[in-house]
Structure 1
Amino acid sequence: MAVALLGRALAAFSSARHILRCSTAYSMEKWFSKQSSYDNYPKPPLTAYFRFVKDQHHIFRKQNPDLSIVEITKKIAYAWKELPVSEKQTYEAAAKVDRQAYKEELAIYKAQLSPTQRIALKEEKRRKLTKRKGTRKKRELTVLGKPKRPRTGFNIFMSEHFQEAKGISVQAKMKDLNEKWQNLPSSQKQTYLQLAEDDKVRYENEMRPWEEQMIDIGRQDLVRQKNRRLKIPTVAKKKDGEHFLKKEG
């Protein structure tokens, strides 16, 4: 299946190149790539935290050979959280130096570009940035061990019957499975719908402790809006001469 997908992708790419070659925009991008490739764009520096991860990963891996990459990453995240301020400042200072060097390299790089190249660079950067953000976000959530989203009844049905579906291409198989799903007797379809409901319960049960962990390591931005205040204590209130700490959540 992977080979077939690759073949289709290459065919589509070749066709797209043939069409774009006739356009001014493509000519500009092609010329730009020869004169000053986007690959030469200065590489953004690592943040203080990721410098720490890079330094510590092999150490934690050696100390915990039986743990998964997700568990190792969690340990490193907690180690960063507990790291003394003086040691964090070392990483932050190094990151600051790298950022300044990056800004200087970027200024030199942009100064060498012609107006036409700058337009091509801006468009290429926008396209790659959008793709990179999506990939990075997905990879980050995987590393942090975010529970998989619940599947629908059709998703479960499709995963069970994909190999036996008619057709060679993915599109053909999906079309066949969709038709079978639409014609599936209600009694059989209900089985998959119930499995989907069970998967929703599984997802919620796994998400709550995961979101608590994200709050613990300072990644509240990954927590769903409805749970943003989870485990965050309010200001202590005075009552009958005593102080009580009330938790919201």
Structure 2
Amino acid sequence: MVSLISNGAAFFSKAVGFLSTRSFTRCTCEVMKKVSFSTSSLNPPKRPLTGYLRYAMQKQPIILKQYPALRIVEITKKIAQEWRGMTPDQKKPFLEAASLAREKYKQDIEKFNAQLTPAQAAAFKEEKRQKRVKRKLMRRKRELTVLGKPKRPRSAFNIFMAEHFVEAKGVSLQEKMKGLFNEWVRLNSSQKQGYMRLAEDDKIRYKNEIKSWEDHMIRIGREELVRKYISTSVKAKHTKRAKTKAKIQKQKTKDRPTTSKKPALSAARAKRAKKAKKREE
């Protein structure tokens, strides 16, 4: 129960991804603000904006004012088209500002790295690695969305929660989820049966859709997105890692100095022989 509530944002967004009510949108936005990437506790200098991003930030409010009904995706496309059509002289102010900001960033990051202790440097490096992984996952998720990858099947509880979320008691997302979970637990088997049938139907839907989608990915040359390819790729990666680890371990064993017990055994034999000789005398 605790894990369900603590992971509410991610779990719920998958469970009721098809909802489009305003209340759900507000809840999702509030949660995403809470779980967004946090800045480093070490307060490192921020990377500067590129020339294009500087132009986009300047242009976006102007276009939004001219076309208030335009979606953010369409605004972004419009800005990108304008940027591509600009002459080098028109881009120059933005590119020069970006270049100056990069030089200042280099100086600031050098000062920042110089004042870190070894432990802080290691922690900062690990934090950057984790952020890179998260950004990579987000880019991959956006790409799959653009390519139209089918949504995974929902469980019976997911469907129940999506159906009753709007009228659920509670103000926060966690309160609503907790109440819905308690309601689900109190349902008897016959009441849950309908949701279980819907979940089975959703599994069939997903199975058919993912098969068609993967066939399409193979046709357009994106085999790396197909489950079979991913499974083989992951297995090969683990095998390669295991072989590398075994090779390193073998080299360590080879380089480790060995101590022979033969001299000690010989000394023991000599001692026993000496004692035996004394007894004979």
Give the TM-score taking structure 1 as reference length. 0.49
The structure number with the bigger radius of gyration is 2
Q: Comparing both chains, which one has the higher relative contact order based on Cα–Cα distances under 8 Å and sequence gaps of 6 or more?
A: 2
Structure (1 or 2) with the greater strand fraction: 1
Give the TM-score taking structure 2 as reference length. 0.45
